[in-house]
Amino acid sequence: MDNSKMNIMEYLPNMEILDSSIMNEVMSAYDEYDYNSYTASDVIKALSHERISIADYAALLSPAAAPFLEQMAKRAKVETNEHFGNTVGVYTPLYIANFCENHCVYCGFNCKNKIHRTALTLAEVDNELKTIASDGYKEILILTGESRARSSLEYVGESLRIARKYFSTVGIEIYPVNSDEYEYFHDCGADYVSVYQETYNKTTYSEQHLSGSKRVFPYRFDSQERALKGGMRGVCFGALLGLDDFRKDAFAVGMQATLIQRKYPHAEISFSTPRMRPCVGYEDNNAKDVHETQLLQVMLAYRILMPFAGINISTRENAKFRAGVVGLCATKISAGSQVGVGGHDGDSKSENQFELADESTLEEVDAMLRKKGMQPIFTDSSYL
């Protein structure tokens, strides 16, 4: 799908358009956010509030907050313990296909990249999921490349039905769909949806998403709201930190999640914090000036803004960093990750989407958590 000349704000046929003001509110605040205008006194004032405002959140993401990371960490730890105790959710991802129609210049799966394209058969999906479940996992994240043509609604739906046989919690991270299609996925067994805006800078978004349906900025933005309208229990937000100005992107992520929570109080909100990683064809991919200290600042700010929200830490980060943030602000951690198609049964069927920084097994992650006095949680008994 070559729509490289198309305005990124133009919808494609059959894309659902929501009557929602959230995108305009977020983008207006994003454009006005000047993180260099905040001072140490703004940060101190923000930390003094029992529940912080968006203005306080903006201060906590600013460079002025850098000297206050210890205070932010103490506050975050208290909030995490109050809402999650000493528990940490453990999950693993399963890529069932890597066909993609999008030309995203930073991604190993992009349609112009010369990699082996494949999709698991439903029998192979069953085998992979059975293998994963036998290791003790009770939560699975199902992923595909973004190609509705090659990973159809029915294919994803049947994969979800299989997943529900083995897992108490099932998430999906695929191409965005309309609210009635999210309802179909929910009926098939999905609990939550992860969609990342990547960047909220429209110029950068246009430059990084050259063609494909992902180029349509507002349709992607409204994905979480459509998912909730379709009956999903939870939605996950995130930006690809390092693709553009990470402070402004993180600010927009937090504000979008806050507005969604206000509009849909029942929604379970979570954040993911991916940084740029090297991948096939883009070995020099690295986050622009987003070092571990800055990543930690973002995660702490997320926790203080939304104390009850889940925060995921993936294998894009190294084992030492992951061990440091669980219990402090992160509440969910992946283990034994494979980021190519299949692979959990020992037979990976494609190149990886990106380069892993932590290849820890489930046993190693479990041991790390228990050593820290944390309780790994492999199940989620509630399912709507």
Q: What is the pTM of this model?
A: 0.93
- 5 by Cβ neighbours in 10 Å (0-12 / 13-18 / 19+) ranks as exposed
CA distance 8 to 202: 8
More confident residue, 339 or 295: 295
Q: How many other CB atoms are found less than 10 A from the CB of residue 37? A: 11
Q: 279 φ, ψ to 5°?
A: -150, 175
Pairing state of beta strands 169-173 and 139-143? parallel
Token pair 């104390």: residue: 307
Helix axes 40-48, 69-84, angle to 10 degrees: 20
User: ∠ at Cα 198 (327, 171), nearest 5°?
Assistant: 55
Q: 102 φ, ψ to 5°?
A: -95, 145
What end-to-end distance do the CA atoms of the chain give, in Å?
A: 36
Domain ranges of the chain: 70-377
Helix axes 246-263, 22-32, angle to 10 degrees: 150
pLDDT of residue 382: 41
Give the pLDDT confidence of 222-257 residue by residue, as tens digits: 999 999 999 999 999 999 999 999 999 999 999 999
CA distance 354 to 214: 19
Average pLDDT, the chain: 92
Structural domain 70-377, CATH architecture: Alpha-Beta Barrel (3.20)
Pairing state of beta strands 375-377 and 87-95? parallel
Mean pLDDT (whole number) for 304-330: 95
The one-letter code for the residue type at 258 is T
Q: Is the pLDDT of residue 114 over 90?
A: no
pLDDT of residue 381: 42
Q: What helix, strand, coil percent values describe the chain, rounded to 5? A: 40, 15, 45
Task: Calculate Rg over the CA atoms of the chain.
Answer: 20
Q: What percent of the chain is predicted at pLDDT more than 90? A: 80
pLDDT of residue 107: 86
User: Are 239 and 208 within 8 A, CB to CB?
Assistant: no
